[in-house]
Amino acid sequence: MSWKDNLIKIEPYVAGEQPNKTDFIKMNANENPYPPSPEAIKAINNFDGANLKKYPSANAVELVKTIAEYHGLKPENVFAGNGTDDVLSLCFRAFFNSKKPILFPDITYSFNTVWCEILGIPYEQIRVDADFNINPEDYKRANGGVVIANPNAPTSIGRDLDFLRIILDNNRNCVVIVDEAYVDFGGITAIPLLEEYDNLVITRTFSKSRSMAGMRIGYAMGSKDAIAAIYAAKDSVNSYPVDSVAQKAGIASIKDEKYFRETIARVIKTRENLTEKMREMGFKIPDSSTNFIFASHEKYTAKEIFEYLKSRDIYVRWFNKPRIDNYLRISIGTDEETEALLNALKEYIK
């Protein structure tokens, strides 16, 4: 018997490859190609460092207030954490304590299964159709909760409120999480449904549309009771998940709506251009509501294109997983990066 016998046994989530060099095009982690709001940067560079001797506001009170106001909610309806992964893992713990399985699509954010494994939550993965569409009627069965990413990842497909209503109406007795990590890039938010459904919880991130992946801020919105349960989970793990600098920077980002809208518009414009050009080259690409596209080619396998692009120092994401192993997830870069990608593809696909 050794101390090693009691070590955790789990298959962890593997994030996008981070090459150990600097001169490459990175389109594999759905990062924003543009910097954060200059106001957010200013908040960091003007931060009164002496304040760091004190613990941060444990519940990120001012940040939460700012987010709540922005979305027309009350502070009691918002929880902020150390990135959406932190927020979602606390949500899983706070909400999914039933013996019945929670339900989510077989093709969706791959951290879902990891959280279920580590937290001992039973789960069932519901098959999306051949075009990667989620059938909302499939979520009408005994369950301990539902998790839907809308828009979904890595498929990039966004759905409307009618779709969400079907799922919500069939699931009044469990928490339905709608992960809106990518919603700002053209998705339809479930926020208007919060008034109607007190079991709806929406999660968001500052990592994508707010260009603050390096800062780690995510948040959840829901009814007072639902949010209180996330606080209970948080207070049982790590009292102070969001540091003082991040709280200030987050507030500044939220307050700079103009820059936010401009950045998003640029990403969307590049996405539409990239989609059109790649479709002309024979790629099949669903309409994206996100800052990435999900592409497969009629003649070349995703793996070979992935390897080829890597040899050209362009990193996109390829998932070696059933059903999606012939697809590439390509994050939207700057126009220059997109041009480089298109040129490389053109050379490959004569």
Q: Does 193 bind a second copy (CB under 8 A)?
A: no
Q: Does 41 bind a second copy (CB under 8 A)?
A: yes
Cβ atoms of residues 107 and 327 within 8 Å:
no
Query: 198-257: which residues touch a second copy (CB under 8 A)?
Result: 198-199, 207, 211-216, 225-226, 229, 231-246, 249
Q: Which residues contact 43 (CB under 8 A, 6 or more apart)?
A: 245, 248, 249, 251, 252
Cβ atoms of residues 185 and 289 within 8 Å:
yes
Query: Using the rule CB under 8 A, which residue among 25, 40, 157, 221 binds a second copy?
Result: 40
Q: Does 115 bind a second copy (CB under 8 A)?
A: yes
Alpha helices in 214-350 (DSSP H): 224-235, 244-255, 257-280, 302-311, 335-348
Minimal distance, residue 297 CB to a second copy, in Å: 28
CB nearer to a second copy: give 26 or 159. 26
* Phi and psi angles of residue 186, each rounded to the nearest 5 degrees, phi first: 125, 5
**Measuring CA to CA, which residue among 240, 235, 206 is closest to residue 220?**
206
Sheet holding 200-205, edge to edge: 78-81, 218-221, 200-205, 176-179, 145-149, 102-105, 123-126
Span of 10-18, 149-157, 277-285, 295-303 interacting with a second copy by CB under 8 A: 10-18
Q: Give the contact letters, 80-99, x = binds to a second copy (CB under 8 A), - = no.
A: --xx-xx--x---xxxxxx-
Cβ atoms < 10 Å from Cβ of 216? 20
Q: Does 130 bind a second copy (CB under 8 A)?
A: no
Q: Which tokens in the block code for residue 37?
A: 């709001």
CB nearer to a second copy: give 188 or 220. 220
Task: Please give the size of the binding site for a second copy, defined by CB under 8 A.
Answer: 90
HSE on the CB side for 156, CA within 13 Å? 26
CB nearer to a second copy: give 46 or 280. 46
Q: Does 333 bind a second copy (CB under 8 A)?
A: no
Q: By CB neighbour count within 10 A (0-12 exposed, 13-18 middle, 19+ buried), where does 272 fall? A: middle
Query: 152-191: which residues touch a second copy (CB under 8 A)?
Result: 172-175
Q: Does 300 bind a second copy (CB under 8 A)?
A: no
Minimal distance, residue 73 CB to a second copy, in Å: 19
Span of 9-17, 129-137, 291-299, 323-331 interacting with a second copy by CB under 8 A: 9-17
CB nearer to a second copy: give 326 or 334. 334
Q: What dihedral angle (degrees, nearest 10) is formed by the CA atoms of 174, 178, 179, 180? A: -160
Q: Does 311 bind a second copy (CB under 8 A)?
A: no
